[in-house]
Each structure stands twice: as structure tokens, then as C-alpha cells.
Amino acid sequence: MSSTLTASLPLIDETTLRRVATPAAAVEVMREAFRADGEGRTHVPAVINLHVPAARGEFHIKTAHIDGVPHVAVKVASGFPDNPDRGLPSGSGLMAVFDAATGMPPALLLDNGYLTDLRTGAAGALAADHLALPRITTVGVIGSGIQARFQVRCLHAVRQFTRIVAWSPTAARLAAYCQDMRAEGFDACPARDAQAVCEAADVLITTTPSRAPLVRAVWLRQGMHVTAVGSDSPGKQELDADCLDTADLLVVDRYAQCSAYGELHHALAAALLTRNDVHAELGAIIAGQKPGRTSNRQISIADLTGVGFQDTAIASFVVRALS
């Protein structure tokens, strides 16, 4: 066998990846990845965040090693929220996959950001599985982009619901989102504003690149769960910091990341919370080290910034499934 790279390195395209990486499969892959994290079996370096202010764009580079997983993925993802106005998707990316035993690459995944979108949605579903009420009727969505879709699709793998109430700052994109979700079988309707979404939601999902709070603490209700995924790089914020202070259960995917640039960062900066006020990292709950929801009256918030071990887990899954 050659010890050098050749032009024969398999390139796996998005269409092929979609055949094996479904929302239901991704939820279970993420469940095991977060369990490994809770058990201390993940090795995660700091994220590289690169901003392109002139284009309102950003790049994120993430990687991690998971003990027992045969591959390591290095993921580059981009986010350019103005792209839909150009007829382009708001996010893209690819993953380079390496053998964890030899360092040699078995494949390059040209997923156009699909695997990132899917694993992010699956993490949100896992958070809701442990923190939301067992029975829900209405999912509230703030945002109308890719994650507004993937969060709902993955959540449907762990909770039964049909009603979606959504709001987005852009009316045309909100209308398109509701139309798309109705085509997928959901009863999706637009709300007049973010407050109306909060008032209706059993589970609230925030998915925007906002740099100013969209959700106020006084809008949160007993029994409500919030999954916040938009604040994934410095300067972003979807929840007023008082929301985190109001929550009975505050869960993060990775404390180091959330304290630096997640929703948690703003509450810490405002001296509303300390590290002791964070109930747990999500992995600790999935590993059985900390409880999830214990009361129907609790307000819970999951602050999710996306962690490199999620990329390694989903990439290794698809490479093995396609081998």
C-alpha cells in the first residue's frame, strides 16, 4: 500500500451522505458521542473562528478525537446569512476524515455543510429529549434558515408533535419556511413576533445569527424548554441574559465554548451567573451523571455551540456505513 496521498482519495458527495445520515440515525450517533464526552473519552481542541465582516460571513474549524472511534474528522464550515438573497445556501462546508490509528485519510466528505446541519439538529433533539416535557404539542421556532428546519426534523425523532409556530425577521423567508414545513407534514404557521412564539411554545428553538437578544425572560413559562443554537461565535446573542438567570436548569454542550461565546457568556459577563449555576454539560446528563428534567414546572435552557467531537462522530459513522 502506498504511504502517500494519491488522486484516488474517495470524494463522497452530499447526495450519497444523505442516504445513510438521516435525522433518526444522527440522533443515535450523537447520543453515543455525548455519552463519550460525559465519560471523559473526548479530546477537543479550541475552535478556530474566522469572521469576514465585509460579507457578514464566518468560518468555523473544528476537530476532536473520541476514544474508541476509528476516525478523526477536521471540519470546515461556513455561514453567510445573506446568501439566500443570492440564490445560495446560507451555510456550506466539508470534512476531511483521517484514520485514528495511522493518520491516513480514507475519505473527503463534500457534504456542503449537511453533516454539520444534521449533527447540530441532532444535538438539539438530544437536549430536548432529556430536558423537555415528555408530551408536547407546539414547537416554537425563531429563525427561518437551515437550522430552523433541521432542529425540527431531528426533534421529531424524539417527540411527537405537528404544530409549529415560527417568526423570523425577514417576512419572505418566514413565509417560505412555513410553506416548506407544511410540505413536510407539519402544521406550520407564522407568528406576529418573537413574543407570540414564546407564548405558544412548549419547546422553543432559536436559530438566528442575531447579535442582540430576541427572547426576554418574562416570556418564558413554567414547563418550557429552550434550545438555543444561534450563538456559536463571539458577538452573537439570541436570549436576554436574564433568561439564563430565570431558568431552573441551564445545560451547555461545552462549558469552555459557551462561557466564551455562547448564551452563557453574556450571563457571566453581566454577573448574573457563575459556573456553579450551570446544571451540567449535556454529555454528563446522557452519561447518567446528572439528572435532566425532574419536574413539569421547570424552565430549562440548552446553550449549544457545537463541539468538534460531534463532527468526528457523524463523519466516522458515514465512512463506516459506506465502506
Report pLDDT digits (tens) over 56-83. 999 999 999 999 999 999 999 999 989 9
> pTM to 2 decimals?
0.93
pLDDT, tens digit, 9 for 90 and up, residues 217-271? 999 999 999 999 999 888 999 999 999 999 999 999 999 999 999 999 999 999 9
Interstrand relation of 42-43 and 57-66 (parallel, antiparallel or unpaired): antiparallel
Q: Which position has the grid cell 446569512?
A: 81
Which residue among the candidates 62, 75, 236, 290 is catalytic per the annotation?
A: 75
* Residue 226 in grid coordinates: 429552550
Q: Name the segment(s) of the chain with CATH classification 3.30.1780.10.
A: 11-115+309-322
Output the CA–CA distances (angstroms, integers) from residue 109 to 5, 65, 90, 103, 215, in the order listed. Answer: 16, 17, 19, 16, 36
Segment 280-321, tens digit of pLDDT:
999 999 999 999 999 999 999 999 999 999 999 999 999 999
The three grid cell numbers given for residue 286, joined into one nine-digit string: 446522557
Q: 137 Cβ partners below 8 Å, 6+ apart?
A: 161, 163, 202
Q: Which of 205, 201, 128 is nearest to 165 (CA)?
A: 201
Residue 5 pLDDT level (bands cut at 50, 70, 90)? low
What CATH architecture does domain 11-115+309-322 belong to? 2-Layer Sandwich (3.30)
Q: What is the mean pLDDT of residues 35-49?
A: 96
Where do you find CATH 3.40.50.720 in the chain?
132-306
118-154: pLDDT as tens digits: 999 999 999 999 999 999 999 999 999 999 999 999 9
Q: Look up 62 and say whether it is catalytic.
A: no
The CATH number that domain 132-306 falls under is 3.40.50.720
Decide if 168 contacts 205 (C-beta within 8 A).
no
